[in-house]
Chain A
C-alpha cells in the first residue's frame, strides 16, 4: 500500500496554513505553486487582520458582532455557519500568528496594537506596519520550511497546476502539473487535493492583483466538474494608481486626511492641473454628497468616479480613465502623516503627489466568488462541525477549496481585513477534515490507483499543450487579453447594465473564436512563459463568461453588484406619513427581491458545448441572522429599518400562530 499523500495547490496564506497544519499531523504534503511561495499574492495585503480582542470586548464587542458585521457587509449572501465559525476562531488565529513571530505593531505595554477598519465600529484589526499580508505569509512560509527540512513537505515551486485527476467514480485522485522551467509534465497522486489558488483579477486585464492571479487553476478545476459560486461578485477598490502594468492601491487614508477628488470641467483639459482655477474644477463627490464629501463609502466613491469618467467622459486623460486625488493643498504636517503612501505613488509614478495631484481610478481588487465549497452545520453552536468530511469540500469528492479561491466567506462584499482571516482560517480548518478523510480511506492510498489513470491524465494534458503550441493562426494572445480586460472592466465592474454586459458576452464569444486561431511566438520546450500565459488566457475567457453571465442574470443590487436599472426606488417624501408609506413599499420590494435573489449563483461547466456554462441558484443559510436592508445613505433609513423590523416581527408571529394551531 502506498503512502498517503495530500497535494496542496497554491502557496499563499491559505495553502501554507493548510500545509503546515497537515504536516504537523504527520501527513505528507506536496505543495505546488507557480511562484516560490514567499512571492504569492498574499504579500500585497496591507491593512491587517480582524478579530475580536480584549480591547474591543470591553467596549461591548464579541464574536457575534464580528459575524454580524461580516454578513451585513456581505449583504447576507454567505451561508452563515462558516462565517460564524470563522469569527469564533479569529481571536485564536491571531494568537497563533503572534506565537509564530509575526511582527504585529505593539502598544507601549507590549500587547498587539489594533486599528479600526471600514464596516465596523470596533478596533478589531491587528496589523504589522503597512505590510500585514507580507508579514503573515512569511510566518507561515517559515513554518512550512521547517516541515520541509523535516521531510514532511515537498515544495514544487515554479510548477503550474494543469488540472485535477478524477477517476471513473468521480473521486479526485491527484493532479497533473508542469515544471515551468523544464516544461516536464507529471502526475501527483493524492488522497486529497486542496486548491488554494486565489482570485482571478487578470480577467479584467489590469487589477490590483498579482500577475499570477489569472483564475487559471480555478477554471481548470471548473472544467473538471467543480462548481463555481457567486462569480459575479468582484470587489473594486475606489482608489488605485493606474500603472501601465498594473493598478496599485492608494490607501483610503489619503481621503481620510483631507484629500479631495476632482476632474477638470472641460473634458481632458490639457493644462497643468495646478493652473486650473477652482471654478473650473468639478469636485463631484463633494457636490453630489455634501454631507460625506470625499469620505463617502468605498462602493459609492467607486461608482461616482466610474460614472464621471465613463458616462460623463470627464476623465483627466484622453487615453486612460482617471481622476485627480489632490493632497497638494494639505498643510505639510498633514502631508507628512501620509508619507508612507505618498512615497509609493512617487516611487511608481515618478511624480511628487505633494506638488501635483495624484491620478487615480477604481481597480478590481478581490473575488468574493470562487469554487463552490461545502460545510457541515453544527446545530448546537450554529457554526461548523470541526473535522466534518464535508467542510471546504467541493462537489468533486477528494477536492477541497480554501482561501480566496473559495466562495463561501464574503458573500456580496468583503470587509477590509477579513480576507487574511478567511484565508488562514479556511487553511487551518480544512486540516482536521482531511485527517479524518485519510483515516477513513480503507482501500489504501491514491498511489495504489491504476497507473493508467495517471498516465492517461498526463497524456491528455500533453496532447492539449501540443495542440496549443502547434496552433497555426494569426491571433496574438496578449492582444486578446487586452481586449478582454478592457471590455470586462468597462461593462462588468462597477455599474452594470444588461445591454452592456450582453455586449461583453458577445465580445467574449468573439474572443473565444479568435482564441482558436491563437499563435504562440515561442514554440520551444524550455521555460515557455508564452505557453503558460496563452493557456491561462483560455481559462480567463471561461472565467469571464462565468462572471459576466452571472452578472447578467442577477437582476438586482446586492453588495458590490450594482445594477441601476434594478434599484429599488428610494423614499423621497418629506411628509412623515408619506415617507412611511414609501418605506413600506420599499421594504415590500426588498422582501420580494430577497425571495428571488438571496441565493448563491452556482455555475456548472457543461462539457461538449462551446465552453458553455449552466447556471443554477442555491438557497443561502441565513438561519442565524435574518437579512436586513443596507440603508447607508438612503433617505428615511431609520424608518425603513423600523418598518422592516415590524415586518419581521409580524412574520414571526404568523409562524408561531401556525405552530400553535
Chain B
C-alpha cells in the first residue's frame, strides 16, 4: 500500500533477487541441513550399543576436520542469518488476520510466521547450549570425545537435554517449529517459483509436503525421546581411531 519512495535502496534494486534468495536459502542449504541434522540425530534410536550408531554418524561429519568451521559458517550460519533477518522483515510487514478469516491456508500463513520466530529463538538457544561457540558464555555442552577418546557425543547431548525438566519440551516446540516452517515453506515455495499453479496441484503438493513434514517430525521427536531417555550414567565407549585431538570441540 505504501508506495516505494523515489530513492531506490540497494534492497529495492535487487528486490526480486533478494526475495528469491530468501526462498532458495530456506530450502537449500538451511532446509537440507535440517533434514540431515534430524535424521542424524534419529540414529540415537538405532539398535545396538547405546549411542554407537549416532557416534558413527557424527564422526563422519566431523571427518571434515579443519574445514568444518568454514563449511558451517558459509553453508549454514550465513544462509540461516540471511533467511532469518529477511524473515523478520517479512514478519514485521505482515498483518495477520487469522482470527478473522479462519481458512486453512490463512492459519498456515500465520503459523509460518510464528514458527519462523520460534525457530529462530530456538536455534539461537540450541547453538548456545550445544555448539562450542557457546562455551565462553556458559554453553557448548556437546563434546564429540571425552578424556582418553571416550565417545561422548550422545552422552553430552543427553546430559544437556536432561539437565532441567523444561529443556525437552523447549526442544519439542523448537524442533516442530523448524519442521513445520520447512514443510510449509516447501509448499509455498512451489507456488512462489511457479511450479504448482492450479488449486488441484497445490492440493497434491500439500499432501506431499505434509507427509514430508510428518517424517521429519517423527525423526525429530524420536531423536528427542532417545536423548531424553538416554542412560547418562553408563560409561561411554572409547573410540579406537584417532580424531580425538582435532575435533574435541564438538559439532
Direct interface between A and B, CB < 8 A: no
